[in-house]
Amino acid sequence: MPNAKIEIVYDPNKNKLRAKPVGHTGWIRFPKHLRVEGAEYVCDELREGKAGSWIAVGEIHEVSKRNSR
């Protein structure tokens, strides 16, 4: 999935911030130091990982940052 949009959301089931692809299901393996609740990013590519997960590949660019947790 080229030029993929990523959203950082709080997952109450795991009690942590997680990255999810906008418009798709599953979670993304994404750098923890970039996870800010409500932030949006675009990365060069998302590749399918195991069990329905995704892997952010290439450059990651911040689109917006809302509030931090």
pLDDT given for residue 17 in this prediction: 97
Chain position carrying tokens 């892997």: 55
Answer for the pair 18, 52: CB distance below 8 angstroms, yes or no. no
CA pair distance 25, 21, nearest whole angstrom: 7
**pLDDT tens string for the chain (69 positions)?**
778 999 999 999 999 999 999 988 899 999 999 999 999 999 999 999 988 899 999 999 999 866 654
* Burial zone of 45 (CB within 10 Å; 0-12 exposed, 13-18 middle, 19+ buried): middle
How many angstroms separate the Cα of 15 from the Cα of each of 10, 55, 57? 7, 21, 25
pLDDT given for residue 1 in this prediction: 74
pLDDT given for residue 64 in this prediction: 80
Answer for the pair 49, 29: CB distance below 8 angstroms, yes or no. yes
Q: What is the value of pTM for the model shown?
A: 0.84
